Structure 1
Amino acid sequence: MSINSENAKTIEMELEWFQQLILLRGKISFEQSVTEEEIWNLPLPSVENQHSPYARLIKEHSMNLAERLVLILALIPHVKPSMLDLLHMKNTLYDIPFTEFGGIRYDKHKGYLPTGETAIFLLVGANLEKRFESLTLFSKEHFFLRNGILSLERSSTNEPLLYGMLSISQEYLSLLTVGDEYKPDFSPGFPAKRITTPQEWDDLVVTEQVQLGLEEIKDYVLHGKILKTDYQFGKKIKPGFKVLFTGPPGTGKTLTASLLGKHFKMDVYRVDLSMVVSKFIGETEKNLSGVFNMAESKNWILFFDEADALFGKRSKTTDSHDRYANQEVSYLLQRMEDFDGLVILCSNFKKNIDEAFFRRFQLVLDFDLPDAHNRHILWKKSITNEFKYAEDVDLEVLAEQHELSAASIINVLHYSILKCLGRNNRIIEKKDIQAGLRMEKIKEGKSIV
């Protein structure tokens, strides 16, 4: 049986059970023909012998009746929206929809979108004590939110919590229906993009100091969480591991983060903080909370680029932009402090980072421009077996005379190899390298001797 079929079987059982529950709620709250206890006496469908992702999720968290109701209610608009049509009924006394039903209705979308109020009403009706107890379903500590399964989406922070739309995450919507693993991509509501690399550790040429730092990071990924949870020393340290990468563009900072993810089979998600500041000013908490929540539940590496956009040295707060920026720094610092995983911040200009923030990092690695020795290694390693240098190309002279980053050397070789292919051969000639160097220096605003 396919995963689709297995999920469909489990969901059909949950929908039948939900149909019984919603009819029972009508008898309790409107006909008053049965008591509240009947809701909690309603037998739950057994998933003991089922192996669908939906069933596994239920068993993994030992979900009770309330949790299973909230989960299927969040899923219904995506799988069987007509099941909620009866909640469109109006209170004839006031000629308005029943307030206790909650729900959101859009002009274009004629279906009923459940809210926290909908879930609470179906569970406990008008019982205030039970209502208060049920609020834990939507707390930050509950596995629904902690694991990024579902949440209440409020249009404004001023509206009541339960007015928020009951929203299942794209990750779990995909998993619980078609059975696919969902990897989110950049969007206005998710300012992070997954980064990968086809390169290997041998392609990375860095200083010995950086290599030693990378070993410390690897040790954390392998042993850090065990140290925190299984040893007394763990009480003395904060969760997670925070690293700052600094250095000019093209020196391997992003490649290093990507290689760490590749080495440990962990997804790496990059957030451009300069864009968060410029485009999403005042919305950092909203946009980054989803990134942090998903990263923690999925064991991602978070890579924050252009860190000086938020952590740079500041003068006094002079306008609303500065006030928002200060709030965003506070929010990001707090989430970083609480994040139980690997966070890498990256800046091209170490001197621009406010010194007050350095104590927040367990490790600071400086990716300097390669020296002549490392530049020579890069010139040698950066071409593949398909190409070779002409005999008059002296790599030692190139390395000595031209101070370039690894990325710039690749750019020069890219230019030169395209010229090779244009001549229908695979010999990298000196004149092509010289032309490529000139192009690269012009791009950097420098002159070539």
Structure 2
Amino acid sequence: MDDQYDQTSLDERTPFHRMVSKAHDNAQTIQLELDWLQQILKARSAINANPGSGSAELLQIPAPDLSGYDSTYADLVRELHLGPAERFLIILAAVPHIRPQLLDMFMSRNQITQQIYTEFGGRKGKSHNGFIPTGETVLFILAGNDLKKRFLYQNLLDANGILFKENILRLSEVETDESFLNGALIISREVLDQITIGKVQKPPFSSEFPAQRLQTPLDWEDLVLPEETWIHLRELEVWLKHKDFLMKEWGMSRILKPGYKALFFGPPGTGKTLTAALLGKKMNLDVYRIDLSRLVSKYIGETEKNLSKVFDRAEKQGWILFFDEADALFGKRTSVSDAHDRYANQEVSYLLQRIEDYDGLVILATNLKNNLDDAFMRRFQASVFFPVPQAEERFLLWKKGFPEKAKLESKVDLASIAASHELSGGVIINVIQHSLLMALENEEKIVQLEDIREGIRREYQKVGRTI
């Protein structure tokens, strides 16, 4: 198989060929790093077996030369100028995901306590039966019982180190009365994907990750909005296009806070969610909708954890974050009358801080602007109103909504319908769907005026109105 891809020029390769080729290149360099790590682990094991042999400098074991390799991992090493110490941390953190059996040596038990040796550190996952390295594991491998080396190598785990500043690695949280070195050494999912399969996987929507990617088959030209709304959206588009130049080249990071916060407000069905999806599509950015009903947990502290998972992924990928029905969590804060109120307000404060620090675009959508807390309103750079469309805009929505192949009976006057019925875009689509379904039931498959009227009647009934 390798020869087959070697004989195929890069231009001729399909996306699948390129994916297999990248995985092949990554596998070569990762295997070199794993072999190197195994040498280090064997050296540590030998020192433990013969304590009188002294304390060797294990990072002096030569790391593989990756200068001639074209892989994501080799690119990462070159781009960040990573030395042996940083490479050791990355490959150790990646081992549970790539070759977990390599760490089985740490699963041996102390014959006296019948537990894993304390000095090994390590954790066991909820479903992972293997050994998950911690900060203690790092220091045990590199320093053993040498306190001087232990204190020296502890600097590798400092939050200001390159791997931690770039969110490539992190130590998981521990209880406040425990050593931070007991935190598991975790590699970011994005980096793990890049150095293995060669592309970042889209995170699936789940209770563990309460955010869902927004996508639409529609295009920017399908959006029907008033001119004033377009002007505000243009500013968001310009910011996404030039934010790096603004903040770095013109040095506005000294004055402006990171990121851009926008409020989309207006009645249901006026295009707030669609606009967010189309903005991301136009700017080639992923848009993730935050499900606030899943985000807010009845368990104290879980909301912050769920939020952290979303923001940590988003910050690395530059996603647009879209909070729908924002007043569910961003509404006016309650007075503190009990512990539940106090924790609820803490959750809001935590979310405020994460939004404040987020370097990308955050969009909050609500039907009722007045329900939002004043503290949030002061933080928006843009407040975009999505009104119920006027007659001319409604006509465009009716016209664009019906497929070109659909035939309307001669009595259907879309301009007259648009002028007579004040409906949002979402409601108009509901009516169009009803009339199309009814048309499929008749032999001529022609959209009838009466079916359109019936669809409008049904939508009015939903909100207690009559046609």
TM-score (norm 2): 0.89
What secondary structure, in the 3-state scheme, does the structure 2 residue paired with 1:97 have?
A: coil
Letter in 2 for 1:319: D
Work out the CA distance in 2 between the residues paired with 1:362 and 1:70: 40
Letter in 2 for 1:277: V
Q: What's the counterpart of residue 121 of structure 2?
A: 102
Q: What's the counterpart of residue 464 of structure 2?
A: 446
* 1:279-428 alignment, distance < 5 Å: 282-428=301-447
Work out the CA distance in 1 between the residues paired with 2:318 and 2:411: 50
Cα shift at 1:317: 1.9
Choose 412-421 or 68-77, whichever is displaced more: 68-77
Work out the CA distance in 2 between the residues paired with 1:51 and 1:30: 39
- Residue by residue over 1:53-73, the C-alpha shift from the partner in whole angstroms, topping out at 9 and shown as x without a partner, is 222222222222222112111
Choose 121-130 or 400-409, whichever is displaced more: 121-130
Q: Does 1:17 align with 2:36?
A: yes
Work out the CA distance in 2 between the residues paired with 1:154 and 1:232: 35
TM-score (norm 1): 0.92
- Contact 1:261–1:267 (8 Å) recurs in 2: yes
The 1:108/1:292 distance shift into structure 2, 3 A limit, reads: closer
Letter in 2 for 1:433: I
- Contact 2:334–2:345 (8 Å) recurs in 1: no
What secondary structure, in the 3-state scheme, does the structure 2 residue paired with 1:365 have?
A: strand
- Residue by residue over 1:288-330, the C-alpha shift from the partner in whole angstroms, topping out at 9 and shown as x without a partner, is 1222122121111111112111221234122333222211111
- Residue by residue over 1:323-379, the C-alpha shift from the partner in whole angstroms, topping out at 9 and shown as x without a partner, is 222111111111111111111111111111122321101011111111222112211
Cα shift at 1:139: 4.7
Work out the CA distance in 2 between the residues paired with 1:368 and 1:134: 59
* 1:21-420 alignment, distance < 5 Å: 21-29=40-48, 31-36=50-55, 38-92=57-111, 95-105=114-124, 109-128=128-147, 130-135=149-154, 137-154=156-173, 156=175, 158-278=177-297, 282-420=301-439
The 1:339/1:131 distance shift into structure 2, 3 A limit, reads: farther
Cα shift at 1:91: 3.7
- Contact 1:196–1:258 (8 Å) recurs in 2: yes
What secondary structure, in the 3-state scheme, does the structure 1 residue paired with 2:393 have?
A: helix
Aligned residues: 448
Cα shift at 1:433: 0.2
The 1:129/1:263 distance shift into structure 2, 3 A limit, reads: farther
What secondary structure, in the 3-state scheme, does the structure 2 residue paired with 1:360 have?
A: coil
Work out the CA distance in 1 between the residues paired with 2:302 and 2:402: 45
What secondary structure, in the 3-state scheme, does the structure 2 residue paired with 1:44 have?
A: coil
Work out the CA distance in 2 between the residues paired with 1:280 and 1:305: 22
The 1:7/1:438 distance shift into structure 2, 3 A limit, reads: same
Letter in 1 for 2:186: S
Cα shift at 1:106: 6.3
Work out the CA distance in 1 between the residues paired with 2:162 and 2:204: 23
- Residue by residue over 1:374-404, the C-alpha shift from the partner in whole angstroms, topping out at 9 and shown as x without a partner, is 1122112221211133221222332222221
Work out the CA distance in 2 between the residues paired with 1:306 and 1:113: 39
- Contact 1:53–1:179 (8 Å) recurs in 2: yes
Work out the CA distance in 2 between the residues paired with 1:270 and 1:142: 32
- Contact 1:372–1:400 (8 Å) recurs in 2: yes
Work out the CA distance in 2 between the residues paired with 1:87 and 1:245: 53
Cα shift at 1:411: 0.6
Work out the CA distance in 2 between the residues paired with 1:75 and 1:247: 46
The 1:370/1:279 distance shift into structure 2, 3 A limit, reads: farther
For structure 1, the 5+ residue unaligned runs are none
What secondary structure, in the 3-state scheme, does the structure 2 residue paired with 1:344 have?
A: strand
Cα shift at 1:93: 5.7
The 1:325/1:177 distance shift into structure 2, 3 A limit, reads: same
- Contact 2:55–2:146 (8 Å) recurs in 1: no
Q: What's the counterpart of residue 18 of structure 2?
A: none
Letter in 2 for 1:46: D
The 1:158/1:291 distance shift into structure 2, 3 A limit, reads: farther
Letter in 2 for 1:446: G
**Percent identical across equivalent pairs?**
47
| RMSD, matched Cα | 2.4
Cα shift at 1:30: 5.0
Work out the CA distance in 1 between the residues paired with 2:96 and 2:259: 37
Choose 132-141 or 72-81, whichever is displaced more: 132-141
For structure 2, the 5+ residue unaligned runs are 3-20
- Residue by residue over 1:183-230, the C-alpha shift from the partner in whole angstroms, topping out at 9 and shown as x without a partner, is 102122211111111111121111212100111001101112211111
Choose 191-200 or 171-180, whichever is displaced more: 171-180
- Contact 2:334–2:341 (8 Å) recurs in 1: no
- Residue by residue over 1:64-107, the C-alpha shift from the partner in whole angstroms, topping out at 9 and shown as x without a partner, is 22221121112222322222122123344655432110012469
